[in-house]
Amino acid sequence: MKLPRDIGGSELASLLGKYGYHVTRQTGSHLRLTSTYKVWSIILLIQTQKMLFYPPVFARLFTALP
**24-47, pLDDT tens digit by residue?**
998 888 889 998 877 888 888 888
Model confidence, pTM: 0.64
CB neighbours of 40 closer than 8 A, spacing ≥ 6?
A: none
What local confidence, expressed as pLDDT, does residue 24 receive?
Answer: 92
Contact between 26 and 8 under an 8 Å Cβ cutoff? The reply is no
Other residues' Cβ atoms within 10 Å of the Cβ of residue 33: 20
